[in-house]
């Protein structure tokens, strides 16, 4: 069987040092395959190879040429491993030579996961232009904010120019309306020059519906399993070897050729694979081989809804070896604590009690009964480190999957926004922000598409309305196909100059600086942690320590002043107060030193320090 190539791409059209195009496509169900170079009017037959592959070495195609594959003399299809689709997912592919880009990041060293402070963004709505090059112009803002990594929502080619990216149908191609492959490289290079790591969101659990021609080539899907998006990708059925190779090489390409630092893999619980070696484990094994070859460290991050640590346990522990996972349960517990109605999946969360558990255990449901699921759910992650979990108060899903796409800025008070941000930033986990939250962006982030199939557009509209039944939402669902929905979701950078939004931005900068300035907060050690909560007062006391440094964070989620006894009967010194006048809070004269009983204003957090000399 064909093996994944560690040092170079082996699929699609690639250019060697010999000046020839090396072409490989997997099409086991075809009897004839040729590559048609449109403008040159060439029709070049490929040679049948083992295991359903077709190959050709030719000087008939050069970088910049547009081409399609002809299957059995009648079906014209874009390259499944296309790097560029300048005429949409239905049009011809364009040959690209990735080796010609002039990188300047030879000295770049990826951050350890402990040092990641992630900023999630969507290229199309991050700036008014919606391009990689426009994003480069905003990197100084992110550096000044204090984040250390950006996470880019999926850029695999999708229909039209408006999409979250999870409808991508050509996983190797970089969305042309964002600027394409070279523009993505420019963004990564620019990020590294400014000390920012780059996380790329990839989708290995399904392919989008429009422009999905994979079944014309081979058995990329299996009806053994079903996902929310249809038949599962074929990772363990007949002919699965080539499909596994396709996705393994995709991961390697982003790391090796695009210098991406980490991949965030979407909804890995929807990947169905009962092989002796799970596909995620095999990807990790090959990423480790790449490390041996290049000396560059790359991370794998999983979105996971199973609360099963086997995904993030190391290969030595018989796990899949994924480095990090998102934990939505921290978000859910935090939102309910902050006043989110207990509807839909929020119905499983009690608020402050579960938030305290999330701080300590990562998983809230770690082998206990889940009323929402009507079953016992999850397993303990007590042996996993804090740097294996990403937490947040907002992300694209939790904002965009609300019917109206409301951000925290329109759902809770100014003070509660600051408290939720602090709750994330003082956690023993990797924090993540969603673009614009640092200045309390008021525009929503709504679900948008630009499909060309009318029936598909109608189906998506209907599906969105069905999705919100559990939340008892009222009003009209925004039209997913409308360009207005997309434009409403763009960030308003001009808000950063307005007093209230500027105050929030300065608060976020100070909050991030607080986290990185004290080892007790920046060291993600869950062993040096204690948490207590009071459901009657809706308060939580989180204590973290490192050597002689102790930090105590007192959070008041209630709407009244609360008196809270500080732990250990020692004197504490106030470091940070979200209710401070400079952050737009109430003007108060609170004791700063020798504090033992804290008076915490409504919807605020005060952070204290004690050092034993």
Q: What is the pTM of this model?
A: 0.97
Give the integer Cα–Cα distance in Å for 146 and 421. Answer: 14
- The pLDDT > 90 percentage for the chain reads 89
Catalytic residue among 65, 120, 303, 329: 303
Q: b/e for 328-356, b at 16 or more Cβ within 10 A? A: bbbbbbbbbbbebeeebbbebbebbbbbb
pLDDT tens digit sequence for 43-57: 999 999 999 999 999
Give the integer Cα–Cα distance in Å for 542 and 49. Answer: 62
**What is the average pLDDT across 566-570?**
90
13 - beta bridge partners?
A: 23
Spatial CA neighbour of 51 closest among 244, 225, 232: 244
pLDDT tens digit sequence for 202-258: 999 999 999 999 999 999 999 999 988 889 999 999 999 999 999 999 999 999 999
**Structure confidence at residue 589 (pLDDT):** 66
List the chain domain ranges: 12-100, 529-611
Same fold, 12-100 and 529-611: yes
Residues in the chain: 613
Average pLDDT, the chain: 95
Q: Give the SS3 label for residue 500.
A: helix
Contact assessment for residue 537 and residue 560, using Cβ atoms and an 8 Å cutoff: no
Q: Work out the pLDDT band at 472, boundaries 50, 70, 90.
A: very low
Q: Work out the pLDDT band at 18, boundaries 50, 70, 90.
A: confident
Spatial CA neighbour of 68 closest among 84, 47, 51: 84
**Structure confidence at residue 613 (pLDDT):** 44
Rg (C-alpha) for the chain, rounded Å, is: 25
Quick check: is 308 catalytic?
no
Contact assessment for residue 123 and residue 209, using Cβ atoms and an 8 Å cutoff: no
Which listed CATH number (3.40.50.300, 2.60.40.1180, 2.60.40.3880, 1.20.910.10) goes with 529-611? Answer: 2.60.40.1180
**Structure confidence at residue 458 (pLDDT):** 87
The fold of the 12-100 domain, in CATH, is Immunoglobulin-like (2.60.40)
**What is the average pLDDT across 197-206?**
98
Catalytic residue among 210, 266, 273, 437: 266
- List phi, psi (to 5°) of 298: -130, 150
pLDDT tens digit sequence for 106-143: 999 999 999 999 999 999 999 999 999 999 999 999 99
Quick check: is 43 catalytic?
no
Task: Find the Cα–Cα–Cα–Cα dihedral 210, 252, 14, 63, rounded to 10°.
Answer: 70
**Structure confidence at residue 441 (pLDDT):** 98
φ/ψ bin of 56: left (φ > 0), alpha (ψ from -120 to 50), beta (otherwise): beta
**What is the average pLDDT across 85-105?**
97
pLDDT tens digit sequence for 297-335: 999 999 999 999 999 999 999 999 999 999 999 999 999
Q: Give the SS3 label for residue 45.
A: strand
Find the helix packing angle between 240-256 and 279-294, rounded to 10°: 40
């Amino acid at each position: 069987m064909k093996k994944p190539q560690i040092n170079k791409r082996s699929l699609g059209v690639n250019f060697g040092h010999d000046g020839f195009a090396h072409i490989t496509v997997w099409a086991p169900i075809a009897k004839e395959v040729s590559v048609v170079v449109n403008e040159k009017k060439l029709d070049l037959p490929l040679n049948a190879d083992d295991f359903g592959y077709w190959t050709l070495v030719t000087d008939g195609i050069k970088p910049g040429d547009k081409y399609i594959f002809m299957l059995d003399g009648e079906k014209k299809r874009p390259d499944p491993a296309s790097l560029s689709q300048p005429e949409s997912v239905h049009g011809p592919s364009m040959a690209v030579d990735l080796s010609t880009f002039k990188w300047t990041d030879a000295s770049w060293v990826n951050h350890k996961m402990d040092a990641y402070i992630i900023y999630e963004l969507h290229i199309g709505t991050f700036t008014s232009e919606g391009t990689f090059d426009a994003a480069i112009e905003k990197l100084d803002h992110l550096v000044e904010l204090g984040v250390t990594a950006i996470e880019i929502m999926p850029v695999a080619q999708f229909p039209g120019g408006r999409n979250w990216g999870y409808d991508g149908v050509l996983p190797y191609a970089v969305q042309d309306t964002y600027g394409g492959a070279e523009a993505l490289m420019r963004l990564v290079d620019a990020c590294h020059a400014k000390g920012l790591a780059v996380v790329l969101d990839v989708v290995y659990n399904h392919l989008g519906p429009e422009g999905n021609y994979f079944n014309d080539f081979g058995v990329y899907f299996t009806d053994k399993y079903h996902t929310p998006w249809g038949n599962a990708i074929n990772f363990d059925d007949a002919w699965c070897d080539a499909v596994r190779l396709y996705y393994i090489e995709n991961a390697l390409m982003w790391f090796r050729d695009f210098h991406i630092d980490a991949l965030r893999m979407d909804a890995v619980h929807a990947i169905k694979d009962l092989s002796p070696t799970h596909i995620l484990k095999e990807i990790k094994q090959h990423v480790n081989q790449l490390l041996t070859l290049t000396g560059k460290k790359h991370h794998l991050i999983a979105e996971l809804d199973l609360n099963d640590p086997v995904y993030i346990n190391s290969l030595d522990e018989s796990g899949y070896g994924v480095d990090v996972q998102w934990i939505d349960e921290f978000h859910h517990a935090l939102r309910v604590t902050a006043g989110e109605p207990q509807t839909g999946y929020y119905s499983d969360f009690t608020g402050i009690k579960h938030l305290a558990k999330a701080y300590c255990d990562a998983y809230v449901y770690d082998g206990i009964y889940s009323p929402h699921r009507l079953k016992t759910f999850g397993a303990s992650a007590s042996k996993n480190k804090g740097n294996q979990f990403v937490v947040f108060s907002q992300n694209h899903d939790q904002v965009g999957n609300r019917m109206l796409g409301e951000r925290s800025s329109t759902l809770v008070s100014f003070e509660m926004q600051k408290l939720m941000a602090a709750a994330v930033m003082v956690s023993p986990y990797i924090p993540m922000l969603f673009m614009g939250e640092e200045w309390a962006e008021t525009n929503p982030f709504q679900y948008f598409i630009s499909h060309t199939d009318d029936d598909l557009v109608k189906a998506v509209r209907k599906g969105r309305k069905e999705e919100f039944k559990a939340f008892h939402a009222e009003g009209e669902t925004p039209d997913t196909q409308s360009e207005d929905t997309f434009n409403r979701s763009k960030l308003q950078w001009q808000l950063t100059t307005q007093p209230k939004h500027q105050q929030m931005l300065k608060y976020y900068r100070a909050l991030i600086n607080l986290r990185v300035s004290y080892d007790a907060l920046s060291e993600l050690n869950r062993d040096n942690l204690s948490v207590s909560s009071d459901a009657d007062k809706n308060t939580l006391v989180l204590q973290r320590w490192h050597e002689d440094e102790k930090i105590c964070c007192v959070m008041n989620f209630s709407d009244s002043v609360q008196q809270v006894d500080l732990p250990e009967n020692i004197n504490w010194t106030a470091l940070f107060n979200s209710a401070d006048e400079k952050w737009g809070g109430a003007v108060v004269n609170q004791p700063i030193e020798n504090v033992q009983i804290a008076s915490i204003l409504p919807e605020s957090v005060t952070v204290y320090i004690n050092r034993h000399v």
